[in-house]
């Protein structure tokens, strides 16, 4: 398979999962977006924050583009309730702003992806990664696609518990 076809397939899969994330929360009100319905205690808006910071921004902005990790929230055990800090949404934060942050991060990620070859190595690999892990943009894309798809499924379960809406995958 040539690089153009591989890139097109990877981007199509990534975009489908990003749209799934947004569709899964579309129509939920602020209270529903902030409601944890699964035993692990995360809220739908908290998951959107996670795919923004721990997905789009970390993997594409920081790992691939080498941008600083200065957006990462400082952990606070009392606020985070056992989850990583990138799931936290403060009570006074607008859920609309969190959703817009996700859209903005996706837009920036798309520019980074468009400017890099599939075999481009990360500019800021994590020193704790196993040898050879996430060696290039193609591997990072596959990882983010799988992670985003997993979280989209989590949102589907939360959505069904919140208001009964089911996502049908064909």
Please, which pLDDT band fits residue 170 given cuts at 50, 70 and 90? low
Query: Is residue 169, in this structure, part of any structural domain at all?
Result: no
Domain range for 134: 3-163
Q: Which tens digit of pLDDT belongs to each residue from 133-167?
A: 999 999 999 999 999 999 999 999 999 999 988 88
168 in any annotated domain: no
169 pLDDT band (50/70/90 cuts)? low
* Domain CATH number, residue 76: 1.20.120.450
User: What is the per-residue DSSP string for 48-69?
Assistant: HHHIIIIIIIIIIIIIIT----
Report how many domains make up the chain: 1
Q: Residue 127: what pLDDT?
A: 86
Q: Three-state DSSP class for 151?
A: helix
Helices 3-25 + 137-163 axis angle, to 10: 20
Query: Within a domain: residue 25?
Result: yes
Residue found by looking up tokens 């959703």 in the block:
99
Is residue 85 within 8 A of residue 73, CB to CB? The reply is yes
């Amino acid at each position: 398979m040539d690089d153009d076809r591989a890139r097109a397939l990877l981007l199509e899969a990534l975009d489908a999962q990003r749209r799934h994330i947004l569709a899964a929360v579309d129509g939920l009100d602020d209270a529903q977006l902030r409601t944890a319905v699964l035993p692990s205690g995360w809220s739908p808006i908290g998951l959107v924050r996670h795919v923004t910071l721990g997905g789009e921004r970390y993997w594409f902005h920081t790992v691939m583009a080498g941008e600083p990790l200065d957006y990462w929230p400082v952990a606070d055990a009392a606020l985070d309730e056992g989850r990583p800090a990138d799931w936290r949404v403060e009570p006074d934060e607008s859920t609309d702003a969190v959703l817009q942050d996700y859209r903005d991060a996706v837009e920036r990620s798309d520019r980074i992806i468009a400017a890099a070859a599939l075999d481009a190595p990360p500019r800021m690999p994590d020193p704790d990664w196993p040898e050879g892990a996430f060696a290039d943009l193609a591997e990072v894309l596959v990882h983010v696609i799988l992670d985003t798809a997993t979280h989209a499924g989590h949102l589907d379960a939360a959505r069904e518990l919140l208001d009964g809406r089911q996502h049908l995958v064909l």
